[in-house]
Amino acid sequence: MRGPVRWVLWDVKDTLLKVRRSVGEQYCSEAERAGLKLPAAQVETAFRQAYRHQSRLFPNYGRAQGMSSQVWWTGLVRDTFAQCGVDDLALLDRLANNLYHKFCGPENWEVFPDSNSTLKFCTALGLNQGVVSNFDKRLEGILRGCGLLAHFSFLLTSEEAGVAKPDPAIFTQALVRCGVPASSVVHVGDHYVNDYLTSRSLGIQGYLLDRQDCHGHLDVPPQHRLQSLDELPARLKQDTD
């Protein structure tokens, strides 16, 4: 049986906030400050290719290989710009260092309009809240800078957990922190496999956030779908009454 909801767990990127501009645009702006003019579309394509390559060789920020997330991102940024013809090693290092730190704060992130109000409503209902996110150690500073950190009792990033979604072990770690049965926990995220299927495989009440109404997964019933976070409070209120 489903128990009364006591906790709400959140994915972060593309659920509560998003990058303010495309990665290609932001990387190009940094390159321009260093005197380089590169097409944003080329940089974006190079970034996506480098990201896939880096993630395949060193999953979850290279935790298993003893890497730090900053080292992981440095390699990714170097590879991205190298694909675009930049071969000055000192310049590549400077670009990587600057971009890593610029994504530490709120400047390059945008909070969705429905995020803060929904988080406040969950608190008003007496619910505890936590984060389960495939993210690195910069997440705390980003959430603090975006004014969201105070809503959460804990943050569990994949870098800290040593495992990343869709490995259910990250949710198992989160359930230990919650200290309640999975049936008393809700998880909200935008990824069908990482968030919805994985959380529900453990008995967590998973909701799939589909802001563009484009997923089309027929096995997700309407009561598990959200087009906006504004829809969540009414469903949670039913489960906490």
At 1 the pLDDT is 45
Token representation of residue 232: 């969540």
DSSP string, 129-172: EEEEES--TTHHHHHHHTT-GGG-SEEEEHHHHS--TTSTHHHH
* pLDDT for 100 beyond 70: yes
Q: Domain extents for the chain?
A: 7-16+112-239, 21-108
Angle at 76 between CA 70 and CA 79, to 5 degrees: 140
Closest to 194 (Cα-Cα) out of 9, 4, 40: 9
Whole-angstrom Cα distance, residue 126 to residue 129? 10
For 3-46, the pLDDT digits (tens) are 699 999 999 999 999 999 999 999 999 999 999 999 999 999 99
The architecture of the domain spanning 21-108 is Orthogonal Bundle (1.10)
- Domain 21-108 in the same topology as domain 7-16+112-239: no
Q: Which two tokens stand for residue 112?
A: 């969705």
pLDDT tens digits, 116-175: 999 999 999 999 999 999 999 999 999 999 999 999 999 999 999 999 999 999 999 999
Confidence of residue 2 (pLDDT cuts 50, 70, 90): low
Give CATH superfamily name and number for 7-16+112-239. HAD superfamily/HAD-like (3.40.50.1000)
User: Which contacts qualify for 25-33: CB closer than 8 Å, 24 or more apart?
Assistant: 26/99, 26/102, 26/108, 27/77, 27/80, 27/81, 27/95, 27/99, 30/95, 30/98, 30/99, 30/102, 31/81, 31/86, 31/95
Return all residues near 203 (Cβ < 8 A) that are at least 6 apart. 181, 182, 183
